[in-house]
Structure 1
Amino acid sequence: MLNVSIIIPAWNEAERIRDCLLNATRQTIMPHEVLVVDNRSTDNTCAVVEQFIAEHPEPPVKLLHQNDEQGLIPTRNFGLNAATGDVLGRFDADCMIRPDWVEVVSGIFTEDPAAMGATGPVMYYDMPSRHFGLKGDNSLRKRIYRADGGQPLLFGSNMALRASAWHQIANEVCRDKADVMHEDIDISLHLMGKDLK
C-alpha cells in the first residue's frame, strides 16, 4: 500500500482544527504525515495545533508556516511541496474525513497505477438531512462537475493526488489571486493537460 500525506491549509481555524486533526489521525491506517500549513493566522490556530501535537505525540502531525503570501493557493502549494508521501491528500481545516479515508485513498492509487488524481463526495454537516444531501451532492457533482470530454474534476474539499503527478504540474498551476477559476479545477485541468488520469 502506498503511504498518504495529508495537507491541511489553515487560516484562523482555531475553532475546528482540533476536531479535524483528531479525525485525520484516528484512521484505520495512520497517515504518513499530517501537515497543517498555517497562513498568517491571527487567532490561536497555531497554539491549538501545537497543543494537539504535545498531547498526541504518536501521530505524525507537523505545523508548517507559509508566511510569504496570504491565500489558499500559495498555502496549499507550500504544503504539497513539503509533503513526502506517495499520495498527497488535501482537504480544508473544517473537514471531517471518514475513519477509513487514508485506507481508501491509498487503495485507489495502489490498485490503479495510472490514477493520478482522485476525488470523492462531501457531506455538509450544517445541512439538514445530511445523508440525503450527501447522495444529492454526489449525484449532482458526478453529472455536472466535469471538464470538456466528460472527465471528472477534482473537488478541493475531498481530493488526493499522486505525488509524482503534483511534481509534474507544481510549477504550472495558476496563481489566480482573483479566484476566477477555483484551485481544484485548476489542478484538474493541469493534470488533464498532461493526459494524466
Structure 2
Amino acid sequence: MNSEESINLSINKLKKVSIIIPVYNVDSFIIQCLDSVRSQSYTNLEVILVDDCGTDNSMAVVQEYLKHHSFTEVKILHHTHNRGLSAARNTGLEAATGEYVFFLDSDDELTDDCISVMAEPIEKFYHDFVIANYEVKGSDKDYPALTLSTGALRNNKKILHSYAEGRWYMMAWNKLCNRKFLLDNKLFFEEGLLHEDVIWSFKLACKACSMYVIQEPTYRYTIRAASIMTGTDIERDAKQYIKVFEAITQFVVNEGMQQAQDEYTLLEGRKSTLLFSLLQRNEYGLYNRYYPYLHEMSPISPWAAFKSKTIGIKYLLRDLHYLLPMAWGKRYKRLFYNLYYKWRGKPIEGAFW
C-alpha cells in the first residue's frame, strides 16, 4: 500500500460530520466563521449554510467567499422568509447526511482542531454526544463553565444529574451530536421562541445515555456589544421564558417525569429564579403579572414531592406557595425571596439578568 492509499483509507474511516451554520445578519462576522471551518484539520466534513433571510449582506459575503475558497462539501439552503435560529438549525439537521452534526453560530469561530478533537472519542466508542469547553470573546462576564473532567458518562442518571448541577452548559453549539439519536428522539428546536437552547438541552439531558466530555476549549463564543436591558426588554424576555417553561412542563408531563428529582430541581429552580430575578431588579409589576402563570404551571405538588423524597426541606419551603391560594402564594414567594436572598445579601444562583 502506497502513502496516498494509506491517507485515503484513513480518511474513509473518519465518521462524516455535518457542520450546520444558520446565517442571519452577520456580514461582519461570517468570514472569520467560515475561515475557521475551512481551517479544520478534520477532513470528512459537510458544511450546511442556512440562509434565514437577513436584511444585510451576509449571503452575498458567503457567495463571494465560496468563489475563492473551496470546501470538501457545501450545501446552501434558503428559507423563503425569516424563520429564526431554531428553524434554521432544524432545516440544517433535516438536510444533514453526516453521522454526527455540529451546530455553529455564524458569529462564532472554531479552533483549528475542533472537530478532530471532538470526533476522536466517537472513532473508538459510540456516544450520543460529545461536549467540549469554550472561550469567550468580547466580554468580561462569567459564562456557564464546563466543570466535568475529561471522560465518558455512560448512563442517563449521571448525565442528567450533572446537567441539573449546572456542570455543563445549555447552549446547543460546541456539541457533536449523533444525528440518528437526535432524530429518533425528536430533538428539534422549538420554533418561534427565544432561549430555545434551554428547552433543547433539557431534553438532551433527559434522553442521552452516553456523553463524552473534553475539557480542552474548541469553540470561540463571541459576545456582541449590547446596552443595559430596559424594563421593556426584561418584560419581553420574561414572556419568552414563560413559554419555555410551558414547553418543558409539557415535556415532563408527557414523559411521566413529574416525580423525578433532577427534572423537578431543574424546572422549579429555573421558575423560581425568574421570579426572584424580577424582584431583585424591583420589577414588582412584572412579578405580579407573571406569577399567576407560573403558579398554574405545577405538574406535581411540592408536598407530594417532599413525601416521596424527590425534594428536601429547603425546596419544600421554597415551593410551598403552590399549596396556597394564588394571592397568598404570591406574597409567600416574595417573603421567601426577602428572607433567603435580599435580607441575607445572598446572590441568586443563575440570575436571569
Per the TM superposition, whether the score is higher than 0.5 is: yes
Is the deviation greater in 52-61 or in 184-193?
184-193
Q: Which one has more relative contact order, counting CA pairs under 8 Å at least 6 apart?
A: 1
Shift of 1:87: 0.8
CA contact (8 A) 1:80 1:88 kept: yes
8 A Cα contact 2:36 2:110, kept in partner? yes
Alignment RMSD (CA, Å) = 2.6
Q: CA deviation at 1:31?
A: 4.5
User: Helix, strand or coil: the match of 1:156?
Assistant: coil
Partner SS state of residue 67, structure 1: coil
Q: Determine the C-alpha separation between the residues in 1 that align with 2:90 and 2:101.
A: 11
CA distance in 2, matches of 1:178, 1:190: 16
Other-structure match for 2:175:
159
**Contact 1:35–1:64 (CA under 8 A) maintained in structure 2:** yes
**What is the match of residue 169 of structure 1?**
185
Measured after TM superposition, the shift of residue 10 of structure 1 is 1.5
Q: Which runs of 5+ in 2 are unaligned?
A: 1-13, 149-157, 211-353
Specify which of 120, 127, 134 is matched with residue 132 of structure 2.
120
Residue 44 of structure 1 and its aligned partner are, at CA, apart by: 1.1
Matches within 5 A, 1:42-191: 42-67=55-80, 70-113=83-126, 115-127=127-139, 137=143, 140-142=145-147, 149-151=161-163, 152=168, 154-170=170-186, 173=188, 175=190, 177-179=192-194, 182-191=195-204
In structure 2, relative to structure 1, the CA distance for the partners of 1:141 and 1:65 (3 Å cut) is same
Task: Tell me how many residue pairs correspond in the alignment.
Answer: 184
Q: Is the 8 A contact 1:49 1:63 kept in 2?
A: no
**C-alpha separation between the residues in 1 aligned to 2:80 and 2:44?**
25
User: One-letter code of the match for 1:159?
Assistant: K
Deviation at 1:96, TM superposition (A): 1.1
Q: Deviations over 1:53-106 (max 9, x none)?
A: 111134423321123552111111101111111110112101111101111122
Question: Which of the pair has more CA radius of gyration?
Answer: 2
Q: TM-score, normalization: structure 2?
A: 0.47
Q: Could you report, residue by residue, the CA deviation over 1:116-150 in whole angstroms, capped at 9, with x for unpaired residues? A: 1222222122236xxxx8xx757x4437xx98522
**Alignment pair present for 1:12 and 2:17:** no
Trace 1:11-30 onto structure 2 (pairs within 5 A): 11-30=24-43
CA distance in 1, matches of 2:101, 2:76: 16
Report how far residue 110 of structure 1 moved. 2.0
CA offsets 1:15-41 (integer angstroms, 9 cap, x no match) = 111111111011112342111111111
Deviation at 1:154, TM superposition (A): 4.7
Answer yes or no: is the 8 Å Cα contact 1:120–1:155 preserved in 2. no
Give distance in 1, aligned partners of 2:136 and 2:208.
32
Q: CA shift at 1:190, angstroms?
A: 2.6
State the alpha-carbon separation in 2 of the partners of residues 35 and 178 from structure 1: 22
Counterpart code for 2:147: K
SS in 2 for 1:120: strand
User: Contact conserved, 2:26 with 2:58, CA < 8 A, in 1?
Assistant: yes
Structure 2 distance, partners of 1:121, 1:3, is 22
CA deviation vs aligned residue, 1:152-193 (integer Å, no higher than 9, x gap): 4553232221111121133x54526343xx333333333344
* Compared CA separation, residues 73 and 57, structure 1 to 2 (3 A): same
